[in-house]
Structure 1
């Protein structure tokens, strides 16, 4: 099972592990992109980060953190828009969901959002966000 139940998502964060969620298409037809949100534990709480990258991947290249930022000219390696910092895990998840359109039951461990990206590629890169778990 790819997606974390709420107790497992909260547990991962409490153990110092990041969770993430692929959000789908971004950008324009001329410059296609993708978005995903990440919640990272830090010393004083949790950081919610929204990433927007160029859609340069495919079936054989889907490591999202290797994709270049969609709207960055400075070539930053670690990019993303910081949405919020919170003190507790449920607040971080709630803020991420309210701010980015993330869905409560689609959180995954860090590095697994690329599997949802692969589903997105195989579905023809739809412009709407995923609504249900792939079969």
Structure 2
């Protein structure tokens, strides 16, 4: 089972484990990119919600479906040089997931444990790199 039911997604965050989600593909100025969101809890009880945007190139395929933002940033001029931006923080796992849904159109059905995003990306490539929100089959 790759996708986390909401109870398991919340449980992972409560145990201090990040969760992530592939948001989908887009095209801009003749280039293709993909976005993904990560919710990272820290011991102080705060969850950070970040969105990373990487260029979708054959180079990503070479890494076996893993997304390396520092090497493939879509917007290399970002302050952190990784294409990631903090969307916000939340004081509870529920609020973090709500924020990701509201601000990034994350889908509550498609959360995965940290480290599983590579499998999502491989499925995305196998389906022809569709543009728009990612909808696993």
Q: Cα RMSD (Å) of the superposition?
A: 2.0
CA gap 1:88/1:28 in 2 versus in 1, 3 angstroms: same
Residues in 2 aligned to 1:99 and 1:20: alpha-carbon distance in whole angstroms: 15
For residues 14-66 of structure 1, give each alpha carbon's deviation from its aligned partner in whole angstroms, at most 9, with x where no partner exists. Answer: 11110000011134262211000010012330000001011122275311135
Residue of structure 1 equivalent to 2:86: 82
Structure 1: give runs of 5+ residues left out of the alignment: none
Q: Supply the distance in 2 between the matched residues of 1:101 and 1:73 (Cα, whole angstroms).
A: 24
Shift of 1:111: 1.3
Pick closer, same or farther for the CA change 1:128–1:79 going to 2, 3 Å: closer
Residue 110 of structure 1 and its aligned partner are, at CA, apart by 0.5
Give the TM-score normalised by the residue count of structure 2: 0.86
Structure 1 79/59 Cα, relative in aligned 2: closer, same or farther at 3 Å?
closer
What stretches of structure 2 of length at least 5 have no aligned partner?
none
Partner of 2:66: 63
Moved over 4 A (4+): 74-79
Could you tell me how far apart the structure 2 residues matched to 1:35 and 1:9 are?
A: 20
Q: Which residue of 2 aligns with 1:118?
A: 122
Indicate which of 110, 131, 135 corresponds to 1:106: 110
